[in-house]
Structure 1
Amino acid sequence: MSQPQLHLALEIGGATADTEIAAAAEAAGFALVTIADSPLAGDRIEAGVRAAHLARRTRRIGLGPNLHVTTTEPFHLATQLASLDHASLGRGAWVVGAESSPAAFATVGNPPLTGDDLRREIADVIDVTRQLWDSWEDDAIIRDTATGRFLDAGKVHHVNFTGERFSIVGPLITPRPPQGQLVVLGADTLGVTGRLDIALIDAPDPDPLRRRAQQARADGAPLVFADLTGNPAELLGLIDRVGGIVDGVRLRLTDPADFPRLAAALGREPVTGPALRDTLGLPRPANRFAAA
């Protein structure tokens, strides 16, 4: 029996010509591009801004900026990502970054976090972000010109979240994202796998990859992707080796100029979407406040 075709993701870095390679990845059948970033990157355009730029220059491919929970204010992070999903008409994603070096924390004047404290901070930011995305129900905006009412205030909710290092009352200043919840990706080593839509596993060898993929699914991740790095020939060989173990792969090219050769060898048709959740086969989540 043939295995289901793997979903493809491509990571692009700050030195890459984002618009050109994102358009090429879209034409080559990639489900999404992720946009690398670091608080220590120096002079660069932040990944969320680069994703917003790509939102109006692509049509089908998902866009996942790497935004760090350790150095980004949670309310602003949730708002920026919701805005990305609106701008892209439902193609937004979020790669959970957690750079935790003292130098990274120093960029925002906070003391470093490690161990359980760091894991708790990551979990708190993901939890409040998801709650904020739900703080507007889908039908909160009514645009009733006869009565002059723009929204139904009873369908806009305060989240009243208190974490270890921050608290947020809410609601978000942006209506609910078109996908309801953006697709959330993160490494299986963050300790928050059950909060992710896609667990990313950096293990190219089949045996450890299989063990970690099984654990990630047991922990609640709907999808598991292998993180693979190499040149086109190496990546094609790795893709063959991980087929049947994971649901997709995120590829990092050692030389981005090699992408046309990789795309031609893969021979994929463009994804149809229209939303990233549709492309990945993920259901649109119900709003937690509406359900209550």
Structure 2
Amino acid sequence: MSATRPLHLAVALDGPAQYDAAYYVGLARLAERGALDFVTLGDSFARPGLDALAVLSRVAPVTERIGLVPTVTTTHTEPFHVSTAVATLDWVSRGRAGWQVDVSTTETEARLFGRRPAAPADAVWREAADVADVAARLWDSWEDDAEIRDISTGRFIDRAKLHHVDFEGGTFSVRGPSIVPRSPQGHPVTVVDGTGEPGREAAARHADVVLVRAGAPDQASALRDDIRRRAEAHGRDPDTLRVLVSLVVDLGESESAQEPGLDSGPQLAGGGPHYSGGPVDLAELITRWHGQAAVDGFHLAPIAPHRDLERIVNGTVALLQHRSLFRTFYPGGSLREHLGLARPANQYALAGGTT
């Protein structure tokens, strides 16, 4: 990766549970003001709070360009419902949706559903990869011009352009087609945390954006290279992947003269590298890592979302923009355009319409 390759920046809206949609709307609009690629909103069956996908569906109509990426747990849920929900978010956001694939491994969470016991991480990540696979097939099960809407003949759909996916996985099967037409992006953007081994293999097979946790540029570069090699082994073009370092940030401290460091902030749930300091030093860290071709960008997780996001946008991002290292406006309207990713061709149309 050359140092002139575009820098990608995203931010997490996580924090203490909030039950007011206006809170998330305000944060997303602030991130949009900084022209960030996307926001994420975490979710799991083990935490109290609102459903992340539903919250970002509320945020979608009152934002214009920012990408919206909720966490969606694929364990214990129905793949057909997952795919239609994410496609719906892509429609209501006019092509700005993604989803961060996650899994559930605890018996407590399994008992919430009562369908099956908890399974090891490698098993549920294999299932998650199957879910990502069948979701892409369901998104393609309508060709782009399958809708006719011909009032004179009463024909709404060209049935020759609807396709059965006939997927058989290790824990589920799906026939299809979807009930939602192919969405504006074709495939909403798939995000996977590829730091751990089971997730990394799923990311190499199916992710558009891979999140990694790394404490130094050489560690990030090694993770990125490994993910790209695995993707290529699966027949993918590694240049269609974007690898972002996930970094917990605490911008409550003043600027310091010392080298911007990691692991200096408070120890938060989930671990991972931390940055504690000011917005200028954070801009220096981002510039250095990206300049060393270690990463495609950063996924920043503020410990105090409103305070730190404001400092990220008005301080860190403004400085990066001043240095011409980050864009000052959105050149396109979709999340794929923000990330420099092409709209995928429909696999069934390419195969000649085989059902």
Aligned to 2:78: 73
Aligned to 2:99: 94
| TM-score (ref. length: structure 2) | 0.78
The answer (yes or no) to whether the contact 1:231–1:258 under 8 Å persists in 2 is: yes
Structure of greater Rg: 2
Q: Structure 1 stretch 115-124 or stretch 142-151: which is displaced more?
A: 115-124
Counterpart-to-counterpart distance in 1, 2:103 and 2:216: 25
Deviation at 1:102, TM superposition (A): 1.8
Counterpart-to-counterpart distance in 2, 1:250 and 1:64: 12
Instruction: Name the amino acid aligned to 1:286.
Output: A
Aligned to 2:314: 264
* Cα RMSD for the two superposed structures: 1.6
User: Any unmatched runs of 5+ in structure 1?
Assistant: none
Moved over 6 A (4+): none
Deviation at 1:115, TM superposition (A): 4.4
The answer (yes or no) to whether the contact 2:212–2:244 under 8 Å persists in 1 is: yes
Aligned to 2:110: 105
Aligned to 1:55: 60
Counterpart-to-counterpart distance in 1, 2:336 and 2:39: 14
Aligned to 2:134: 128
- 3-state SS of the aligned residue for 2:62? coil
Aligned to 1:246: 295
Match 2:343 to one of 284, 287, 291: 284
The answer (yes or no) to whether the contact 1:204–1:242 under 8 Å persists in 2 is: no
The answer (yes or no) to whether the contact 1:39–1:71 under 8 Å persists in 2 is: no
Counterpart-to-counterpart distance in 1, 2:186 and 2:41: 22
Q: Structure 1 stretch 152-161 or stretch 101-110: which is displaced more?
A: 101-110
Q: Structure 1 stretch 242-251 or stretch 58-67: which is displaced more?
A: 242-251
Map 1:141-290 to 2 at 5 A. 141-188=147-194, 189=196, 190=199, 191-192=201-202, 193-220=204-231, 222-232=241-251, 233=278, 235-243=282-290, 244-256=293-305, 257-265=307-315, 266-267=317-318, 268=321, 269-290=328-349
Counterpart-to-counterpart distance in 1, 2:340 and 2:3: 19
1:246-279 per-residue CA deviation (whole Å, 9 max, x = no partner) reads 1121000111122212211211423232111111
| TM-score (ref. length: structure 1) | 0.95
The answer (yes or no) to whether the contact 1:30–1:61 under 8 Å persists in 2 is: yes
Q: What is the aligned length?
A: 291
1:59-80 per-residue CA deviation (whole Å, 9 max, x = no partner) reads 0000000001113211110000
Instruction: Name the amino acid aligned to 1:229.
Output: V
1:110-137 per-residue CA deviation (whole Å, 9 max, x = no partner) reads 2111144223211111111111111100
- 3-state SS of the aligned residue for 2:101? strand
1:49-68 per-residue CA deviation (whole Å, 9 max, x = no partner) reads 01100110100000000001
The answer (yes or no) to whether the contact 1:227–1:249 under 8 Å persists in 2 is: yes
Aligned to 2:90: 85
Relative to structure 1, the CA distance from residue 150 to residue 84 in structure 2 (aligned partners, 3 Å threshold; closer, same or farther) is same
The answer (yes or no) to whether the contact 2:104–2:124 under 8 Å persists in 1 is: no
Counterpart-to-counterpart distance in 1, 2:299 and 2:282: 10
1:125-162 per-residue CA deviation (whole Å, 9 max, x = no partner) reads 11111111111000000111221101101101111111
Percentage identity across aligned positions? Answer: 38
User: Any unmatched runs of 5+ in structure 2?
Assistant: 232-237, 252-277, 322-327
